[in-house]
Structure 1
Amino acid sequence: MTKPKPVGPDDHELVRELHAQHLSRNEIARRIGRSGRTVSRIADHLGLTFERGDLVKAATEARKIDARAKRAALANALLDDAERMRRQLWQPADYVDHGGKEFIRVDWTTPEPTFADKTKIMQAVGIAVDRAVKLDEYDADPGIDAAKSMLGALARGLGAAYDQLTQAEAASDGG
């Protein structure tokens, strides 16, 4: 029987290079002319592993990080949308009507949206803020109470503004 050749630095370097190419233990063994057991010993010595679980865990973690970043960006965009919509409450509003038998188009502008439209705007603002808060809560660490508190205060403030609009309508309807 022939004696196996000793494992040397070249074997270690080859295992390191081929492992970096995500080759299996058996494929590395075939390429360098060594047994799978020898390749496993070299890999252990180099701190390398052939467990797919490690790759799957890393890929899963990367996907979670990407999704977390997307949710954060979406939450910020929703808050930006809520701000833009809320500003519309106090801006001139353009209206168009196609009424009558002749379908005559009538355009007009009011100093502010009608109360009904303000109500719809506030509902849309509330929905946008609510969804942003939920996205933030999904990824929140327990130590992020300050951010949650700020978003909660914003939501309560928007709710109070909505209540004021509702009271103003009730007062104008009654008087």
Structure 2
Amino acid sequence: MGGNQHTNPVTDETRADVRRLHAEGHGRNEIARRLVRSPRTISVLAAEMGLTFDRTATEEATRARVADLAEKRAILADALTDDALRLSAQVWEPATVFNFGGKDNTYEHRQVPEPPALDKKALMAAATAAAAQSLRLVPPQDDAGNEAAQSLVGQLMTGLAAVYRQQQAAEQAPPADDEGDGDAP
């Protein structure tokens, strides 16, 4: 009956106590605590006597825990969707570009109407990752929602491709004549 069967053997009195406490409605763990026995010992004794324990409370607690976890995943998915939207919006908002460098290791910055192409690409990649994680946590419930989600990810990927093409074109274009000394960041 376990590791302490020689120092604390199960007696007829122990069996009677298990039967009595079970009849009073006590659960396995409570009986184990009262009799200073392991829950496994109580389970074995109860099975030998044909006794079962009501698992309704355990089942309800498990259902509640599963529901709590689903709610937390939904909250996280909602936050990730919000992140994806904020990141996507930043692609078209004013930004500060900066540069460290030169022999004096100077810092220069300036405001631009939109982030540079590489920054747009990074923002779109981050937005896509956030949207994808949101969808993994809480997949759409029907095909219509799935198509909408795939469309969102597709639009983000199309935006990334456009930013990349724009960056490539900008790098290949000759510099404009009205750009001062060219040292500005």
> TM over 0.5: same fold?
yes
User: Quick one: which amino acid aligns to residue 166 of structure 2?
Assistant: A
Q: May I ask how many residue pairs the two structures share in their alignment?
A: 129
CA 1:113–1:75: 2 relative to 1, 3 Å: same
Q: What is the aligned counterpart of 1:150 among 148, 151, 155? A: 148
Q: How does 1:22-61 map to 2 (within 5 A)?
A: 23-24=26-27, 50-51=53-54, 53-61=55-63
Q: TM-score, normalised by structure 2?
A: 0.61
Q: What is the aligned counterpart of 2:168 among 163, 167, 170? A: 170
How far apart, CA to CA, are the structure 2 residues paired with 1:160 and 1:95?
25
Give the equivalent residue in structure 1 for 2:129: 127
User: Quick one: which amino acid aligns to residue 76 of structure 2?
Assistant: L
User: Quick one: which amino acid aligns to residue 79 of structure 1?
Assistant: T
Unaligned runs of 5+ in 1: 1-17, 28-48
Unaligned runs of 5+ in 2: 1-23, 32-51, 174-185
Give the equivalent residue in structure 2 for 1:86: 88
Q: Is the 8 A contact 2:121 2:163 kept in 1?
A: yes
Give the equivalent residue in structure 2 for 1:159: 157
How far apart, CA to CA, are the structure 2 residues paired with 1:101 and 1:160?
41
Hey, which of these two has a bigger chunk of helix by percent?
A: 1
**What's the offset of the Cα at 1:169?**
2.3
**What's the offset of the Cα at 1:149?**
1.9
Secondary structure of the structure 1 residue equivalent to 2:158: helix
**What's the offset of the Cα at 1:70?**
0.9
How far apart, CA to CA, are the structure 2 residues paired with 1:70 and 1:169?
40
Q: What is the aligned counterpart of 1:70 among 66, 69, 72? A: 72
Secondary structure of the structure 2 residue equivalent to 1:101: coil
Over the residues paired in the alignment, what is the CA RMSD in angstroms?
2.4
How far apart, CA to CA, are the structure 1 residues paired with 2:92 and 2:123?
11
